[in-house]
Amino acid sequence: MQVVVGRLGRPHGVKGEINVEVLTDKPEIRFAVGNKLKLEKKDEFITVKTLRIGNKKLLVNFVEITDRTQAEEYKGNYLTLELDESEIPQTGDEFYDEQLVGLTAINNSSTPLGVVVDIIHGTVQDLIVIKTIEGKEVLVPFVDEIVPEINLEQKHILITPPKGLFDDEAIEAR
């Protein structure tokens, strides 16, 4: 399974070093020197040359990126890695985005609300993107109160939405 492990940020210095936003639980393993990471939207791999830790981000040099100008061209790209099946969590409260995409979102009455099409990782909280039956996209806060259950076996995610999230009964601000 391909999993997202990081996002390339702005260049650091003039020799091609790049800030990498870590999106994995084991950055020291995923970004080990010599690892080849795939750029998510391209059919291109880049190889970790050096790695060091800076202000809550990784600073990485890649073999294929040799200067600041080149590093600027890669900014915003997500890095993926092929994960061994034995590393994929099957139980508990840990999931990879790829495990959730495609699951049917249902409410307490088991009525389908839509399908999970993406996960957005925010600085404060993550959001689940649900494409409704009507075709609109709804951003659902990925918190226990709203998403109390994820069932990979039955391929569904239980959503207990507040009023206004999936309907027009929004609570007016006063």
With 70 as the cut, is the pLDDT of residue 56 above it?
Answer: no
Per-residue b or e along 12-39, where b marks 16 or more CB atoms closer than 10 Å to that residue's CB: beeebbbbbebbbeebeebbeeebebbe
Domain boundary residue, one of 84, 105, 128:
84
% of the chain exceeding 90 in pLDDT? 42
For the segment 6-45, what is each residue's pLDDT rounded down to a tens digit?
889 999 989 989 999 888 777 888 899 999 999 987 789 9
**Segment 152-168 mean pLDDT:** 86
With 90 as the cut, is the pLDDT of residue 3 above it?
Answer: no
Residues 75 and 7 in one domain: yes
Give the angle 112-107-98 at the CA atoms, nearest 5°: 70
125 domain-assigned: yes
- Cβ atoms of 15 and 61 closer than 8 Å: yes
- Cβ atoms of 107 and 94 closer than 8 Å: no
Residue 109 CB burial class (10 angstroms; 0-12, 13-18, ≥19): exposed
For the segment 95-139, what is each residue's pLDDT rounded down to a tens digit?
777 888 999 999 999 999 999 999 887 777 889 999 998 888 999
Distance CA(56)–CA(64), nearest Å, equals 24
23 domain-assigned: yes
The count of structural domains within the chain is 2
- Cβ atoms of 132 and 107 closer than 8 Å: no
Domain boundary residue, one of 84, 109, 128:
84
121 domain-assigned: yes
Distance CA(160)–CA(27), nearest Å, equals 33
CA-based nearest residue to 99, from 21, 155, 23: 155
Per the structure, the complete domain to which residue 105 belongs is given by: 97-158
For the residues of 130-168, what is the DSSP string, one character each? EEETTS-EEEEE-STTT--EEETTTTEEE--PPTTSSSS
Q: Please tell me the predicted confidence (pLDDT) of residue 90.
A: 55
Residues 7 and 75 in one domain: yes
Residue 77 CB burial class (10 angstroms; 0-12, 13-18, ≥19): buried
Residues 144 and 114 in one domain: yes
Q: Which of 42-51, 68-77, 116-125 has the lowest mean pLDDT?
A: 116-125
Q: Please tell me the predicted confidence (pLDDT) of residue 170.
A: 45
CATH code at 64?
2.40.30.60
Distance CA(100)–CA(157), nearest Å, equals 8
The whole-model pTM stands at 0.60
Domain boundary residue, one of 24, 51, 84:
84
Residues 43 and 69 in one domain: yes
Residues 103 and 145 in one domain: yes
